[in-house]
Amino acid sequence: MWKIRFALAVLASLLLPTREALACATCACGDPTLTSMGTEQPFAGRLRLATQVRAWSLASGEPRVDNLDLRELRMDLSVAYAPVPWLFLSVMAPLQARTVQDVSLAREGGWGLGDMELGARFFLFRDREFSANHLVSVLAGSRLPTSVTQTARGLPLSLDAQLGTGSWDPFLGLSYTAYAGDWSFIASATGYLPTRGREGFRAGASVLSTLAAQFQPSPSWALRLAVDGRVEGESNQAGVRDEVGSGAIAYVSPDVLFSPVTDVVLQLGVRVPVFNQLRGNVRPTPILQAALVHDL
C-alpha cells in the first residue's frame, strides 16, 4: 500500500504546473528582500498595489506676528506594473485633508484629491537577470493638476490651504540599489521642475534625495535607516518672488518592515528633521508614516 501512495504522490508532484513555484514575487525575482514601493526588483508582469499614510505639520513666520500653522493627513494610493523586465509604470493618487490657521486664529481647510503623479522607471543596468546584486534605474514622469481648490461648500481655498499647486510638474531621477546578503543599499536623487499653476503661482525647482541602508535578518522583517534630503528654490507668484520654504532640509528616517504573509509588506516609520535651513522661519515636526504594499 505504501508503494502505491508513494507512486501517486510522485505522479501528483509531476502533474502540478511549474508556474506555481513562481506564484510569489520573491520567487519570480529571486530576491527575498522586503521592499517599499519604488525599490523593488523588476520582472515581467509584476503588479504592486500600495497605500501610504502620513501625518505631519509645520509652522512658519514669527509667532504673534505672521505665524501660520499647517497640518495635513495624507494617504497615497499607488499602482505599479512592469510590462517588461526593464520597465515599471506607476500611478499615484493622493487623498489629503489639510487645515491652515493664521496668527488671527482664523482657520480654513480642504480635503479631497491632491495632485496625481504618473511615472515610468527604466532599468538601465542589472548585473544578473535573476536576483540582481546591482540595479541602476532612471525615473521620469510628472505631477498632474488634479488637486482640490474649493471647500466642501464650494468656497475658494487660499494657496496655503489648497492640496497642490495645480500645475504640470515634470520630474527626472536616478537610482542605484545594491544587495549584499542580509543588507541592501539605496541611493537616489529626483529633480522637479514645476510649471506655473493656479493664480499665477509657480513652486520652486527642487531636488529630493535618499541614502538608505536596510538589514534583514529574517524573511519576515527588516530594519531600514535612511537620510532624506530636499533642496528647493524660491517660489514665484505673478512675478513676485517668495523665499518662504526655500532652502535645504534633511530628515533621518528609521523604519521597520514586516511581512505577515507572502507578498504583503507593512512598513512603519518616522521622519525626524535633523537639519533645517529653510527660509521664512519654517519649523517642521516629525512625519509619522505607515505603508502597506501587496504584490499580485
Q: What is the pLDDT of residues 101-127, one digit of tens each?
A: 988 888 888 888 999 999 999 999 987
Cα separation of 118 and 92, whole Å? 7
Decide if pLDDT at 70 tops 70. yes
Q: What is the pLDDT of residues 186-237, one digit of tens each?
A: 999 999 999 988 778 888 999 999 999 999 999 999 999 999 999 999 998 8
Give 11's pLDDT tier (boundaries 50, 70, 90). very low
Q: What is the pTM of this model?
A: 0.85
Q: What is the pLDDT of residues 247-265, one digit of tens each?
A: 999 999 999 999 999 899 9
Q: What is the pLDDT of residues 16-61, one digit of tens each?
A: 443 333 457 767 665 677 888 878 788 899 999 999 999 999 999 8
Q: Which three cell numbers stand for residue 130?
A: 535573476
pLDDT at 30: 58
Decide if pLDDT at 145 tops 60. yes
Cα separation of 260 and 138, whole Å? 31
pLDDT at 26: 67
Q: Which of 226, 243, 225, 221 is nearest to 234 (CA)?
A: 243
Q: Could you give the residue ranges of the DSSP H alpha helices within the chain?
A: 2-15, 25-29
